[in-house]
Amino acid sequence: MTRAVPVVDLFSGPGGLAEGFSAFLGSDGGHRFRVALSIERDAAAHRTLRLRAFLRKFGTRFPSEYYEFLNGTTDGEPDWATLYPEHWAAACDETRRLVLGEPPASDFLRKKMADIRAEHGGWTVLLGGPPCQSYSVVGRSRNAGNACYEPDQDPRQSLYEEYVRVLRQLRPAVAVMENVKGMLSAKLAGQPIFPEVMRKLQRGSPSHGYRLFALASRSGARSWDEGAEPKDFLVHTEDHGVPQTRHRVFVVCIRRDIARLLPEELLPRLERRSEAVSLHDIIGAMPRLRSRLSRGDSPDSWQAAVRRACELVEANQRVMSRDEERRFRQALALARATADGVAPPHGEASGGIVPPSDCPSDLRTWLLDENIRTLPNNEARAHIPEDLARYLYAAAFGHAFRRSPKTFHFPEALVPAHKNWNTGKFDDRFRVQLPDRPCTTVTSHLSKDGHYFIHPDPGQVRSLTVREAARLQTFPDNYFLHGNRTEQYVQVGNAVPPFLAWQIARLVWAVLDHHDRVGTRPRRPVPVLPPPEPVQEELQLPLVAMGAT
């Protein structure tokens, strides 16, 4: 089989899941999957999705005008429809802004799925992650405080049925569904949702049905048929080369006529890596940036605010051991050096593209693009001066104690006027990300204030940028995100890590390639390039400022 397998991607977001599949290449350099259709309702995410679909029309060599745009040598984004009308028209046809569950989307999909089946039969792949706000633990906690909220009436609870409806219309060879961990414990009308979702997925093809496989089972059972437990379908991304403790549900549905011919070694399973990828491995060499002040910002005013923050933190230093105090003061010294020297830029910094040497080679290759000189979407947000002091304290505490401070660790002089500060409900209200560990789960909450994602370098005194979050989500550096900064954070936080999706695509391809040779029309197998072996080196925590100088 040499033709690319068509992919339909629902609830696409900015396209993380489809990116992993579309980027998977065979040994001949050819793409093994082709995105035939992506559906997304959000306007900003749809613009991101459409641009990426346009770029894919050029294969692995994007147009020079795109790099001029990313590197800031042009005045804004080019008019792609004028420059490349055929490519742009194809991208617009591929990416549709529709609301799944509403009649226009249902009518469109019914006809589109019939057309795809008429052309390709069942030789297709379905992807998608139905919206998860009503399933997530955070979302349920937030909704519980709303007296008017009726969970059984929330239409998002049943959006998975739109995925199932398309599954039955398309009857693909393989389908991959992703969702939040909270789906495993969510209930509808008092009954657990997950078993019902699995029952409907099993019956997705009227003629054959599907076997439902877990990618990282811990019980030993590989499929729902074999008695796999709900928690077996939970994938810990930090075990698979993603520099982030993101735990998500993945269900791989393989049509039974294909699954029955699979040997044990081809049942989809993600291999666990021996070493986790740390935050420093990914963003440690990125350009150093300063935060901005929400009012009256300038390099001088920012440096003055940092000096005041240093004085406040030093005057309210907690009791600690000699070694802890030494590390704490070293961190403050880094902040003072930044405040007294040349202030870093707050955005549009060139250089700092290549990750540190500890970054595994396959992930490094995945992220880098040699044509980029300035990382896109990499501008620091603004903070109030009081938060600069709290960020500085959190970063210094992280260097001293190798953990993020809880609310009770903050000295009284740094405590904000939050009524819930001492309730224990928000102990991680200000959380620094530690350089020698994977980042905590990158979520759309980054769009709010950044307090949960404080950069570990005390000399930068800021939260993570969109590009830093995108790297931790393993978006390639040439993946431009449309929308304002808030919309960009939301897109990144809601996405599937593309590097993980690429690993899943490799497993799906092995299934399809085997069936193509054994199950339908025997032919010589098309070899697939294995991923490069990751570099295994000891992780270190240097007590120096992160970022390129």
**Domain ranges for the chain:** 5-277+493-520, 284-359+382-464
User: What CA–CA distance (Å, rounded) separates 523 from 517?
Assistant: 5
* pLDDT single digits (tens) 489-499: 999 999 999 99
Mean pLDDT of 335-356: 94
pLDDT at 488 over 90: yes
CATH tag for 5-277+493-520 (out of 3.40.50.800, 3.40.50.150, 3.90.1170.50, 3.40.50.1820): 3.40.50.150
Residue 424 is predicted with a pLDDT of 78
Residue 527 is predicted with a pLDDT of 46
Q: Sorting pLDDT into bands at 50, 70 and 90, what band is 523?
A: very low
Q: Show the tokens assigned to 263.
A: 């040997």
Residue 154 is predicted with a pLDDT of 45
DSSP 122-164: T--EEEE----TTTSHHHHHHHHT-TT--GGG-GGGGTHHHHH
Q: At 359, is the secondary structure helix, strand, or coil?
A: coil
User: What CA–CA distance (Å, rounded) separates 37 from 108?
Assistant: 11
pLDDT at 511 over 50: yes
- Cα-Cα-Cα-Cα dihedral sign, residues 75, 81, 85, 91: positive
Q: Any idea which of 43-47, 73-77, 135-139, 544-548 has the lowest mean pLDDT?
A: 135-139
Would you say 96 and 37 are in contact if contact means Cβ atoms under 8 Å apart?
A: yes
Q: Sorting pLDDT into bands at 50, 70 and 90, what band is 545?
A: low
pLDDT at 146 over 80: no
Residue 493 is predicted with a pLDDT of 96
pLDDT at 151 over 80: no
Q: Sorting pLDDT into bands at 50, 70 and 90, what band is 534?
A: very low
Question: Where is pLDDT greater, at 266 or 420?
Answer: 266
Q: At 198, is the secondary structure helix, strand, or coil?
A: helix
Mean pLDDT of 5-28: 96
Separation in Å, CA 303 to CA 287, 317, 335: 18, 21, 9
Residue 369 is predicted with a pLDDT of 96
Q: Show the tokens assigned to 308.
A: 């005041």
Residue 134 is predicted with a pLDDT of 53
Q: Sorting pLDDT into bands at 50, 70 and 90, what band is 132?
A: low
Q: Any idea which of 290-304, 406-420, 429-443 has the lowest mean pLDDT?
A: 406-420
How does DSSP classify residue 519? I
Q: At 137, is the secondary structure helix, strand, or coil?
A: helix
Q: Sorting pLDDT into bands at 50, 70 and 90, what band is 317?
A: confident
pLDDT at 292 over 90: yes
pTM for the model stands at 0.91
- Which residues neighbour 408 within 8 Å (Cβ) at sequence distance 6 or greater? 422, 427
| Residues listed for the chain | 549
* 436 CB-contact burial (10 Å; exposed 0-12 / middle 13-18 / buried 19+): middle
Would you say 42 and 74 are in contact if contact means Cβ atoms under 8 Å apart?
A: no
Please choose, from the candidates 468, 464, 467, 457, the residue with its C-alpha nearest in 3D space to the C-alpha of residue 306: 457
pLDDT at 271 over 50: yes
pLDDT at 521 over 60: no
Q: Is 424 left (phi over 0), alpha (psi -120 to 50) or beta?
A: left
Q: What are phi and psi of 495, to 5 degrees?
A: -85, 160
Mean pLDDT of 438-444: 95
- Cα-Cα-Cα-Cα dihedral sign, residues 364, 40, 438, 505: negative
pLDDT at 503 over 70: yes
Alpha helices by DSSP H, 25-149: 43-56, 64-70, 80-83, 85-94, 103-120, 137-144
Mean pLDDT of 168-187: 95
Q: How many CB atoms lie within 10 A of CB 295?
A: 9
User: What CA–CA distance (Å, rounded) separates 152 from 186?
Assistant: 11
Residue 517 is predicted with a pLDDT of 87
* pLDDT single digits (tens) 384-412: 999 999 999 999 999 999 999 999 999 99
Q: What are phi and psi of 417, to 5 degrees?
A: -85, 65
Q: Sorting pLDDT into bands at 50, 70 and 90, what band is 2?
A: low
Residue 541 is predicted with a pLDDT of 43
How does DSSP classify residue 420? T
Separation in Å, CA 538 to CA 398, 437, 541: 20, 12, 10
Q: Sorting pLDDT into bands at 50, 70 and 90, what band is 540?
A: very low
- Tally of helices (H runs) and strands (E runs) in the chain: 18, 14
pLDDT at 352 over 50: yes
Residue 548 is predicted with a pLDDT of 61
Please choose, from the candidates 13, 8, 2, 15, the residue with its C-alpha nearest in 3D space to the C-alpha of residue 501: 15
Would you say 514 and 266 are in contact if contact means Cβ atoms under 8 Å apart?
A: yes
Residue 445 is predicted with a pLDDT of 87
Residue 382 is predicted with a pLDDT of 95
How does DSSP classify residue 335? H
User: What CA–CA distance (Å, rounded) separates 168 from 220?
Assistant: 29
**Per-chain mean pLDDT for the chain:** 90
Q: Residue for token digits 């009770």?
A: 408
Q: Sorting pLDDT into bands at 50, 70 and 90, what band is 362?
A: very high
At residue 304, what is the residue type? Answer: A
Distance of CA 60 to the CA centre of its chain: 22
